[in-house]
Structure 1
Amino acid sequence: MPLSHEHQMSLLKDILTNHQSDCCGSVSECEQVERLVKSLMINMDIDSNVKTILTEIYEYSQGGIGASDLDAHITTHQDNLSQWVDDIDQY
């Protein structure tokens, strides 16, 4: 059973919140973020403002997947993670 876009956004928010609060994560989490964002980007019910944020999150996940030091990558993006979580809460 596929997840609704509301559940996908909630899962995305949970992963980003964990990265933001723990300052660490896994490549598999970044891959999950990538899959969630791809699925949400093709959803016509998603507001265009959210798609802008999703593009930034996708780039973050790509950087995390390829990072030699994932924890440093996450730490570098702390402000972005906080902003993205806040932005997701507004939609």
Structure 2
Amino acid sequence: MPLSHHDQVHLLQDILVNHLEDCCGSVSECEQLGRLVKSLLVNQSVAPEMQPLLENIYAYCQTGKNTADLDNHINAHQEELSQWVGQINNYSI
């Protein structure tokens, strides 16, 4: 059974919170973030105002999965991660 867009957003937020709180992550998490974002970008039920946020998260995860030091990448984006988690909380999708 596929995840609803609400479930996808919650999963997206959970992974971002883990990166924010743990200051580390895995390539597979970055890949999963990318898949979630791509799915949400084409979903008509997602608020159009979320598109820039989702695009920023997509760029973050694409860079992260290709970096030699993922933990450093995550640490360098702590401020953005915090903002993104807050923005996701503000959207009612």
Extract structure 1 runs of 4+ deviating beyond 3 A.
Answer: none
1:45 Cα deviation from its structure 2 partner? 1.1
Distance 1:74 1:6 in 2: 25
1:49 Cα deviation from its structure 2 partner? 1.4
Q: Say whether residues 1:62 and 2:68 are aligned partners.
A: no
TM-score (normalizing by structure 1): 0.98
What is the Cα-based RMSD across aligned positions, in Å? 0.4
| CA displacement, residues 5-52 of structure 1 (integer Å, 9 cap, x when unaligned) | 000000000000000000000000000000000000000111111111
Q: Say whether residues 1:87 and 2:87 are aligned partners.
A: yes
Q: Say whether residues 1:40 and 2:40 are aligned partners.
A: yes
The DSSP-based 3-state class of the residue aligned with 1:88 is: helix
Gaps of 5+ in 1: none
1:66 Cα deviation from its structure 2 partner? 0.5
Distance 2:48 2:4 in 1: 18
The percent identity for this pair of structures is: 56
Distance 1:52 1:20 in 2: 20
Distance 1:9 1:78 in 2: 19
Distance 1:74 1:67 in 2: 10
TM-score (normalizing by structure 2): 0.96
